[in-house]
Structure 1
Amino acid sequence: MKATIWHNPKCGTSRKTLAILQETPGVEVEVIDYLSTPYTHAKLSQLIADAGMTPGQALRLMGTDAQERGLPDMDDAAILDAMVAHPAYVNRPFVETDKGVRFCRPQDKVHDIL
């Protein structure tokens, strides 16, 4: 099974999720450092929708200026545009397999799609 993780190596939850993927037999892991290789608008929109979330729910507030910029009060389209332009606004990690997409916070949610 192939699993793709949109990863931030500085994030503990992202590192723990990646470790679960790497330790699971039969899982081929693709790691995308989304701060270096930003999301496309289409991919981020798809990941958020497939995870059953809205852009507002996937917005990272901690450690960003999203709150000060008023992003939580914007509509989903504006939030998504800001996330594509500034990937640090995307909470993490997202993992995609052929069984679906999960926002893996906490990291154990990744087991749902393995």
Structure 2
Amino acid sequence: MDITIYHNPNCGTSRNTLALIRNTGVEPRIVDYVSKPPSREVLTDMIARSGLSVRAALREKGTPYAELGLDDPSLGDEALLDAMLAHPILINRPFVVTPMGVRLCRPSELVLDILPLPQQGPFTKEDGEAVIDAQGKRTAKNV
């Protein structure tokens, strides 16, 4: 199964998303995008295939977003992409690529929409929220 996660191990949402992928029995390709950012072409393709704008794929919290003046609405996609590639922490996370599509998985449960295989058992997020029940089905809150 060809699944790739652009992962930041310091991010709880990214860790939960990775765990949901693994709960299908698949070990994805894990790209630590902070140390090995995707190429401009790959990043542009992921953003487009996920249905997001470049600006919507930017992460503000815990990044140099404000210091770099990226809140300036006159900045175009090319300038935003330049900033994301120069400072990969600006790429929102986690992006997941599967044969069923590409998603920015915030919240982590969004990955369930593009996983080709079902969940194999219960899953609870790090914060204690139950996402998948004992039968491998989404909980009522996550349908």
TM class by smaller structure = over 0.9
SS at match of 2:3: strand
Unaligned 5+ segments in structure 1 are: none
8 Å Cα contact 1:56-1:72 kept in structure 2: no
C-alpha distance in 1, partners of 2:82/2:107?
Answer: 26
Aligned residue in 2 for 1:23: 23
| Aligned length in residues | 113
1:50 aligns with 2:49: yes
Structure 1 letter corresponding to 2:80: I
8 Å Cα contact 1:17-1:110 kept in structure 2: yes
User: Which range moves more in the overlay, 68-77 or 39-48?
Assistant: 68-77
Q: Displacement, 1:68?
A: 2.4
State the Cα RMSD in Å. Answer: 1.0
Unaligned 5+ segments in structure 2 are: 116-143
Aligned residue in 2 for 1:5: 5
Which gives a bigger RCO, structure 1 or 2 (Cα 8 Å, sep 6+)? 1
Q: Displacement, 1:9?
A: 0.1
Aligned residue in 1 for 2:58: 59
Q: Deviations over 1:40-86 (max 9, x none)?
A: 00000000000000110011110112122111322111001110111
Aligned residue in 2 for 1:95: 96
C-alpha distance in 2, partners of 1:103/1:65?
Answer: 20
1:105 aligns with 2:101: no
C-alpha distance in 1, partners of 2:78/2:53?
Answer: 10
Aligned residue in 1 for 2:141: none
Runs of 4 or more off by more than 6 Å in structure 1? none
8 Å Cα contact 1:8-1:14 kept in structure 2: yes
| Rg larger in structure | 2
Aligned-pair identity (%): 52
Q: Displacement, 1:2?
A: 1.7
SS at match of 1:2: coil
Structure 1 letter corresponding to 2:62: G
Q: Which protein is richer in helix relative to its size?
A: 1
C-alpha distance in 1, partners of 2:71/2:57?
Answer: 10
TM-score (normalised: structure 2): 0.76
